[in-house]
Structure 1
């Protein structure tokens, strides 16, 4: 079965270049009507904003698209972005939260302004756009939302505390929304991409750039946004044709009971941090039930 998006409407943020552009082109090539969002103004050598150029690409290939220059970091503009999709095309089925930028500093040199600026676009911007789309998707009992995290947020990276905090926050947002969206047919998943884009070109050598084609990442977005995907709450790491699932895990741990002291934790540190037999949980409630089961089992065996 070929994945198609005929009669579906997608909003892709930060789609004037890089990964967002690839996402927009991939969805449009499979039949989706696209709202191409990018806050960036025209660049040297062209008087038109980058979102307009991507719209031209899509139309030249026979697709349907309109451009939008809203800043997702502004709640009102994020709302207007979604409303443009609804007024222009009658609905919104897909939201790809991709917009972002870097302001790397070591933490010793980071200012509150540096921190807030990055969090406002990556985390708050994704939340504002999702808030604006949520009601429409709930009313039509269908929606596909993709958030964009990073291996910096999942595993950490030197000099990116602002970016990593925002990207880790998006995983928490997904974990909550997957609980709320399921009964309304809204699936929320997260992408952890690596690709050769204007944002990463300074840190990639030529061989890496050649291997890390953004189109290979866009394939994962197309799948997550499709009707074939029926799962919510997944994190996909993808780069250069490599795709893996990432999950937060809990070690089996130990039960110290009333003997839980700082000293006892220290003495059992290796066992506590042994992830052999680790497991994930579908929700905070599932972990709580697991702990209660461990406590009850310990009482029965006492």
Structure 2
């Protein structure tokens, strides 16, 4: 098959027992990748389907919520093929807005902690080989779908982690331009086995066809490929459409002399809510500085400036310097 191929590449996919994870494995294997198929519930069916189609795969049943489990995923790839080039964080579980404590813990553990665990496990390999692709899975539930509060919270955390990690890697590339590690997030819309079935047969048939899980996999493959054109992005995918998902701020309203009151904010509430002058900043401080006409420093940049610049006046004020360091430590925590 011509086009974007994965010959010589090794891919690990979490939550690949069925649904989108299985489709990702089948497509990437078809295009030459060797695949570690992970699912705590077992993924033998996916492995068998990959092999039946002429692909190469091994099964892994590790628990991604345990760091030793994600270490095992990475080690299985190294033991089988001596390398790992791509991780696709697809595993999902749970739901509800105010479920019991066990469901809250389990949902956040699979979505957010599991994603961070495998990234932590694989980054030493990616840094050593100066190459890697991370494809995380988000959800449109972050836009406020009712009855998905905890699920959405976990996915929102993954979105935030994706953007922060990408920005940190971009900063590293300034001094290490050979560091080719990219991380992105796909926001899928697919009729997975856990989706509800509606009583309208015609409409359900449309959903089954247009929103088949396999129609998300081409975007995942692109984001996993060496020719991936972006990092730090969230891309919606489903029913054949791909579109960029953005987090943006608006112009809002500026209080006179920088002195807001509850009353004057209410008076100008229409301006606060108006969708005017959309921008994509790196943090709220950055956005508000930029809209004042200042350089759009992020909080992280301000902390670094205060720590590293001996000419910064703050260094002549020990008490203020100590306060800033304490605030920085809280942010790191």
CA RMSD of aligned residues (A): 2.0
CA distance in 1, matches of 2:295, 2:76: 53
Relative contact order, higher structure (CA 8 A, sep 6+): 1
C-alpha deviation, 1:102, in angstroms: 2.7
Question: Pick from 136, 141, 147: which aligns with 2:130?
Answer: 141
CA distance in 2, matches of 1:95, 1:31: 16
Query: How many residues matched?
Result: 283
Change (3 A) 1:216 1:295: closer
Q: Residue 188 of structure 1 aligns to a residue in which SS? A: strand
Other-structure match for 2:244: 245
Q: Does 1:77 align with 2:69?
A: yes
C-alpha deviation, 1:7, in angstroms: 0.7
Other-structure match for 1:127: 116
C-alpha deviation, 1:163, in angstroms: 0.2
Q: Which digits, 9 at most, give the CA deviation of each residue in 1:140-194, with x for residues without a partner?
A: 11111011110002x0111111101001111110011101223232111001101
Other-structure match for 1:112: 101
TM-score (norm 1): 0.88
Q: Residue 293 of structure 1 aligns to a residue in which SS? A: coil
Change (3 A) 1:284 1:138: farther
CA distance in 1, matches of 2:79, 2:213: 30
User: Residues 51-62 of structure 1 correspond to what in structure 2 (within 5 A)?
Assistant: 51-62=43-54
Other-structure match for 1:28: 29
Q: Residue 54 of structure 2 aligns to a residue in which SS? A: coil
Other-structure match for 2:259: 259
Structure 1 unmatched ranges of 5 or more: 41-48, 297-302
CA distance in 2, matches of 1:162, 1:282: 25
C-alpha deviation, 1:98, in angstroms: 0.3
Q: Residue 248 of structure 2 aligns to a residue in which SS? A: coil
Change (3 A) 1:289 1:87: farther
Q: Does 1:212 align with 2:211?
A: yes
Other-structure match for 1:177: 165
Q: Does 1:190 align with 2:189?
A: no
CA distance in 2, matches of 1:132, 1:86: 12
* 1:181–1:188 contact (8 Å) kept in structure 2: no
Other-structure match for 1:274: 274
C-alpha deviation, 1:213, in angstroms: 1.2
* 1:101–1:199 contact (8 Å) kept in structure 2: no
Change (3 A) 1:245 1:222: same
CA distance in 2, matches of 1:8, 1:286: 38
TM-score (norm 2): 0.80
